[in-house]
Copies of this chain bind each other. A is one copy, B any other.
Amino acid sequence: MNKLILNFKSKDSKKIKNPKNFLGGKGANLSEMGRIGLPVPPGFTISTKVCELFYKDKKKLNSQIINTIKKELKVIEKEVGKKFGDLKNPLLLSVRSGARVSMPGMMDTILNLGLNDNTVIALANKTSNKRFAKDSYRRFIQMYGNVVMGVEGYLFEELIENYKLTKGVLLDTDLDENDWEGLINDFKKVVKDKAKKDFPQNVYDQLLGAISAVFLSWESNRAKVYRKLNQIPSEWGTAVNVQSMVFGNMGDDCATGVVFTRNPSDGVNEVYGEYLINAQGEDVVAGTRTPQYITKKARKDAKAKEASMEESMPKVFKQLDKILKVLEKHYKDMQDVEFTVESKKLWMLQTRSGKRTSKSAVRIAVDMVKEKLISKKEAVMRIDPASLDTLLHPTLDEKSSVNIIASGLPASPGAASGKVVFSSEEAERLNDMMQDTILVRVETSPEDIHGMHAAKGILTARGGMTSHAAVVARGMGRPCVSGSSEIDINYEAKLFKTSFTEVKEGDIITIDGSTGRIILGEVPTVKPEISGDFSKLMSWADSFRKLKVRTNSETPLDTKTARDFGAEGIGLCRTEHMFFDEERILSVREMILSKTVEDRNKALAKLLPHQRKDFVEIFKIMNGLPVTVRLLDPPLHEFLPKTEKEINDVATVVGLPLKEIESRINELHEQNPMLGHRGCRLGISFPEIYEMQCRAIFEALSELKIKKIKSAFPEIMIPLVSTEAEIRIMKDLVVRVAKEVQKDKKVKLDFLVGTMIELPRAAIKANDIAKHAEFFSFGTNDLTQTTFGLSRDDSGKFLNDYIENKIFSIDPFISIDDGVGDLVEIAVEKGRKQNKKIKLGICGEHGGDPKSIHFCANVGLDYVSCSPYRVPVARLAAAQAELSKRN
């Protein structure tokens, strides 16, 4: 087992397999910098394992751990030649949290720990700077009082403000050591009053209190919320870094700063950052003083006057610049570094992989390959597939004139136009009818997720950049403008008002999720310009991946988009989506309402030319590539008229009395439509429907063949199979129709017949089903529903309870669940054993989720299929999955 607590310079850290998991991100980097000889203030990391023990031991640090901490303190004391709590030369410490990933919402840092009524005097004497010592002490009481002891921060601030008022000064810098001395006493009183105990004078109590506070903050509400939004498992826990203090605020030969080794917004290879002379780190962030530039060039570019670090501290700057190069070489990645200069001595406080925009990430990765810093594989592994979304979404055509009616936060990139709807149900209803919508809500909740899926864009009146709407929309790649306080929504009246206009349900608006603009009417969008760097990176990815990437699409537009994004076929063409067109829906309804096969055939004959035409178009676009066509899947009643008007319309056209139509609609009602008369069950009951669909496919193929136009290769997919007999009977039907068409048109057609695996029984009995199926496509949406016995439509009501109770770490409809995965594995194994040549793919929404794509690669599928905009994401994730396998 690893040591639970590790000195930064310990060689043991090299042996740790996943240092970030064990030491946290900050700890791992400090330890690494220490080991490679960079000037890091001495210290040690208390590992995440201790966090686990802390919670096991009922939120206490056990005596063994306390002893080890004390032992490690001795090591620091020796290194820096100071003693913790010493009355002559006291060691001061910083205590910082450090989880695997940086996590807002958790306790961050406590500085100046080790000061008390006595050591503060020692510090004053040692530094000959009373004001600095007192100031440090009051800062410490303030931080510790707030973060560890729970005293609200404004109480301290108020005391300072009142004091300044009384004294008639404006700035903190106007206060001297005596002023601070008085405030220190006031601060201690506030602590005693609010926390019901004295501010600790024992420095060890201070230290253990701070360490416990870091651990406790892991389970703070804010941290929990953040974890939930960012899908961070609570088991990870946090590490704690204890480090000797260095001071950037001991005079004008001191400074503190933050620097990136490259430009994080566009990726240009240049030092980028800010610093402040005579300041502590928090001052840079706090915004009370304007930080200065690091480089001369940056200062000049910004036309700033205050000297850059390069100019004011040229020696130290050079040392820093060198260290930055060392760090980039060492980490082979752009670094985000914190440093402090104490009396001209440079100390590295932290380094970590720098956050960057997607654009910058791609450029840096590609540049680093050019610079031979990293390999192509590493470049591919570097990019978070989910981040590509922002690069891929359409933007507004800036040549168009726009009528901006309000604005909000640019919560999720991309632009979209559509009819305003105020409920998820309406969004889904219109989506089913192939109409674009913008879902407008005061705020969204998990119950809206499917409406958000159905809508082209989301607009909310409340909520920030990390509101539910924002987070979910980004995940889905839907444009979103959130928190637009300029709009006033009235659900009852189905409208929203801005200061000067009124928008009703059904009106068309456009939102620009990249800028936050809300625009009346439709605005043309332009496809994202895909940079050369991006294309290069994707081509590298393609060279590494084995999983093919297809798309789920049934319209020519989507199909074209997907091909442009690199789709290698269609993995799911949902034929029922072709039924909702206004022209067709009446024939569809006529078909459903038919009571005899003859009547049904008449209605089907009207639909045949439409379907054939759709297929001709799609087969043309996907020439040379496979297209999986799924025969009719949803329960028939989904197609039925719902409003009174619709029912009347159908009655008129079909020529049946209203009453009969209503009674037929009732007849078709189902208690649990998800488990009802749908999928191939329709094909068994009404073979004529599937016959018409197959005929449309084969006639489309024949048409292209006869015209000598290159066509796609069709794979006909039978949905909702659970038994061998179903696929056998349905395959017979497909083959029979194919024969009829071939004979009729005198052409020879090639195709495959296969099935969705979307029911547990199909997975369990995959060996039987593979006797007939030439391919399996895992429909993991439905498979998740049935494996869990959990309706996606209804789970919103309690999904929150489930995430709060840690029953689900992630919504199983987003990333494939372990148990569902087991069933997929069983089916893969049994299917391949029965039929070596069987093609295996996935077409559930998991097909566009990077985590799930890794699973697909590991389990040995041949392809994944996802929505058009997720195709590049899938290509990259597939490459990463393959590369991870090799490691």
Give chain A's interface residues, CB within 8 Å of chain B: 670-677, 681, 684-685, 720, 722-723, 725-726, 729, 758-761, 764-765, 782, 785-791, 793-795, 797-798, 801-802, 805-808, 817-820, 822-823
Contacts and interface: CB of A to CB of B under 8 A. Distances in A.
B820 A675 contact: no
8 contacts: A670-B793, A671-B791, A675-B786, A676-B797, A677-B794, A677-B798, A722-B787, A723-B808
Contact of A789 (B674, B795, B802): B674
Given A786-B787, A789-B786, A819-B722, A794 B676 contact: yes
A131 to B, nearest CB: 54
Contacts of A672: 672-675, 791, 793-794
A671 B674 contact: yes
A761 B782 contact: no
Contacts of A817: 761
Contacts of A795: 676
A671 B673 contact: yes
A789 B761 CA distance: 8
A798 B764 CA distance: 23
A725 B787 contact: no
Nearest to A804: B684
A272 B217 CA distance: 90
B720 A798 contact: no
Nearest to A797: B677
A764 B823 contact: yes
Contacts of A681: 798, 801-802
Contacts of A785: 675, 789
Contacts of A675: 672, 674-675, 785-786, 789-791, 794
Top-9 shortest CB links A-B:
A675-B791, A760-B760, A672-B791, A761-B819, A676-B794, A671-B793, A725-B807, A759-B789, A672-B674
A729 B805 contact: yes
A787 B785 CA distance: 11
A818 B681 CA distance: 19
A203 B677 CA distance: 52
Nearest to A809: B725
Contact of A722 (B720, B723, B790): B790
A87 to B, nearest CB: 51
A768 to B, nearest CB: 9
B806 A720 contact: no
Q: Which of A720, A782, A794, A805 has the most CB of B within 10 A?
A: A794
Nearest to A818: B765
Q: Which of A670, A676, A818 has the most CB of B within 10 A?
A: A676
Contacts of A794: 670-673, 675-677
Contacts of A674: 671-672, 675, 789, 791
B805 A725 contact: yes
Contacts of A758: 789
A675 to B, nearest CB: 4
A807 B721 CA distance: 11
Given A671-B794, A672-B674, A676-B797, 5 more contacts: A671-B673, A685-B801, A723-B808, A725-B805, A761-B817
Nearest to A761: B819
Nearest to A796: B677
Nearest to A729: B805
A187 B525 CA distance: 86
A671 to B, nearest CB: 4
Contacts of A820: 761
Contacts of A791: 670-672, 674-676
Nearest to A674: B672
Nearest to A820: B761
A256 to B, nearest CB: 45
Contacts of A823: 760, 764
A197 to B, nearest CB: 32
A432 to B, nearest CB: 14
Given A671-B793, A722-B819, A765-B818, A787 B807 contact: no
A787 B806 contact: no
Given A670-B794, A794-B671, A797-B677, A684 B761 contact: no
B805 A787 contact: no
B807 A729 contact: yes
A782 B798 CA distance: 20
A235 to B, nearest CB: 12
B807 A684 contact: yes
Nearest to A821: B764
Q: Which of A672, A673, A798 has the most CB of B within 10 A?
A: A672
Contacts of A670: 791, 793-794
A789 B819 contact: no
Contacts of A729: 805, 807
Q: Which of A670, A675, A805 has the most CB of B within 10 A?
A: A675
Nearest to A667: B797
A822 B760 CA distance: 11
Contacts of A807: 684, 723, 725-726, 729
A793 B794 CA distance: 18
Nearest to A670: B794
A398 to B, nearest CB: 42
Contacts of A819: 722-723, 760-761, 764-765
Contacts of A673: 671-672, 794
A672 B795 CA distance: 10
A446 to B, nearest CB: 13
A190 B808 CA distance: 77
Contact of A801 (B684, B786, B788, B822): B684
A720 B787 CA distance: 11
A723 B817 CA distance: 11
A759 B726 CA distance: 23
A675 B788 CA distance: 8
A445 B291 CA distance: 82
Nearest to A675: B791
Nearest to A806: B725
Q: Which of A765, A782, A819, A822 has the most CB of B within 10 A?
A: A819
B723 A789 contact: no
Contact of A761 (B720, B787, B797): B787
A822 B767 CA distance: 13
A775 to B, nearest CB: 20
B801 A787 contact: no
A789 B782 contact: yes
A723 B819 CA distance: 9
Contact of A760 (B723, B786, B808): B786
Given A671-B674, A672-B673, A675-B674, A787 B764 contact: yes
A788 B672 CA distance: 13
Contacts of A822: 764-765
Contacts of A761: 787-789, 817, 819-820
A696 to B, nearest CB: 23
Contacts of A759: 787-789
B798 A684 contact: yes
A671 B674 CA distance: 8
A668 to B, nearest CB: 9
Contacts of A722: 787-790, 819
A749 B798 CA distance: 33
Nearest to A681: B798
Contacts of A806: 725
Contacts of A787: 722, 759-761, 764, 786
A677 B670 CA distance: 18
